[in-house]
Amino acid sequence: MVKKIFGAIGRYLRRLDKILLILTILVCGFSVVILYSLVQNSQTQSITNAVLDYTDYRTQALAAMIGIAASLVIAAWDYRKFSKLWFIYFPLMVGLTCLTFTSLGRSGLEGADDKAWIAIGSFSLQPAEFLKPAFILSFAYHCDRTKDIFNNPLNILALCIHGAIPIGLVMLQGDDGTAIVFAAIFLAILFCAGISWKYILGAGILSPIAIWFMWSNYLQPVHKNRILAIINPEKYATPDMLYQTNLAKIALGSGQIRGKGLFGGDYSYVPVSHNDFIFSYIGQTLGFIGCLGLIILLGLICLRLLGNSLRSGDGLGRYICVGVFAYIFVQCVLNIGMVMGITPVIGITLPFVSAGGTSMLTSTVTMGLAMSVHYHSAKYDTLFAKKR
């Protein structure tokens, strides 16, 4: 009996994507250490506008451990079988997101113009985070299931409706940053699935009209000014408009090459430096070296995701890995761009690193989806090779 158990563990470990697992553990550990540092330093000086205590970093550590454990279970679960259950998890996550429009809905930050969280007693969560892996799986399955008629106009319409559900919901919440991430996932999987150049050309022609419509009818003046301030700060930027970005840039640069250290330094104040602007605190404490190390670590995760997509034995596996890659890559670019003043402030977390149990769980669980593709790639590579 013991021999069989150890044999099963050995077979599991041989097929597991150990590289992606190690990278995930490293970046999660980095996050917990950074948040512990921020919590301890915030007890003696003003670093962020939130009242932090040791519960915050413990929550981060617990979410990381639960997420990594879940990813190990998901890795062994056949992604093709799980994706077929889309009619359960996708409507469930959409329904959970819709609760933000009820009395349970609230903003993540006081004074913010979004309503993307639901409060259950003292506990709160952001349902759109859980909707990300559900959308990646369901949309990848939709594309794979219809591959024989993929570029049929009616099928493209159905795929667009599928993609419009999460994008539209989070836009109604006022969470434009998350809407961009969902749009990136949607487009990345469509391209990977082989959408015809005719649709791409048509979208290119219509996109200026869509942008004009969004600018004229959807974006509020404050959102427009945030974008214009990035493009032409001399003309459109006001002290209030770039207040947070300017503080973040000062904090980021204050760490210089090696940083001020994790504990006992003289740190600058940046609003939401524990969450959306965590990268500015990393710059203060660990300097350019620490920021570069984190970017390399996140970049290696993205490259591994793309590598898993190329090694996948079937289309569904490729689409899942590309969807996870789009989620991690675009969110990292948007978040770090906010801190550096390259992209507008749109309220988006840094995957694996920003404080928040919901965000940490989503980041780690999606790694489980990619690990499942790697785990089962040899089986489906052989199976689909025989069919060809």
pLDDT by residue, tens only, the chain of 388 residues: 777 777 778 888 888 999 999 999 999 999 999 999 999 998 888 888 878 888 888 999 999 999 999 999 999 999 999 999 999 999 999 999 998 888 777 766 555 566 777 877 667 788 999 999 999 999 999 999 999 999 999 999 999 999 999 999 998 888 888 999 999 999 999 999 999 999 999 888 988 888 888 777 777 776 677 777 666 666 666 666 677 888 889 999 898 999 999 998 888 899 888 999 999 999 999 999 999 999 999 999 999 999 999 988 789 999 999 999 999 999 999 999 999 888 888 889 999 999 988 999 999 999 999 999 999 886 655 555 445 4
- Could you list the residue range(s) of the whole structural domain that residue 197 is in? 16-387
Give the DSSP letter of residue 47: -
Helix (H, G, I), strand (E, B) or coil at 96: helix
2 domain residue, yes or no = no
Residue-level pLDDT at 114: 66
In angstroms, rounded to a whole number, what is the distance separating the alpha carbons of residues 346 and 227?
Answer: 10
Residue 377 CB-density burial (10 A; 0-12 exposed, 13-18 middle, 19+ buried):
buried
Nearest CA-CA partner of 363 in 93, 25, 107, 105: 25
Residue-level pLDDT at 387: 52
Output the 3-class SS for 4-15: HHHHHHHHHHHH
In angstroms, rounded to a whole number, what is the distance separating the alpha carbons of residues 193 and 92?
Answer: 26
Residue located via tokens 């939401």: 272
Residue-level pLDDT at 85: 94
4 domain residue, yes or no = no
In angstroms, rounded to a whole number, what is the distance separating the alpha carbons of residues 352 and 101?
Answer: 27
Report yes or no on whether pTM surpasses 0.75.
Answer: yes
Nearest CA-CA partner of 298 in 351, 361, 338: 351
Give me the DSSP letters along 214-264: HHHHT--HHHHHHHHHHH-HHHH--TTTTHHHHHHHHHHHHTTTT-S-SSS
Residue-level pLDDT at 45: 87
Q: Total domain count for the chain?
A: 1
Helix (H) or strand (E) holding 105: strand 105-106
In angstroms, rounded to a whole number, what is the distance separating the alpha carbons of residues 188 and 330?
Answer: 11
3 domain residue, yes or no = no
109 domain residue, yes or no = yes
Residue-level pLDDT at 53: 81
234 domain residue, yes or no = yes
Residue-level pLDDT at 385: 47
7 domain residue, yes or no = no
Angle formed at CA 135 by CA 307 and CA 14, multiple of 5 degrees: 35
Write the single-letter amino acid at 70: A
5 domain residue, yes or no = no
Residue-level pLDDT at 388: 47
Residue-level pLDDT at 48: 85
296 domain residue, yes or no = yes
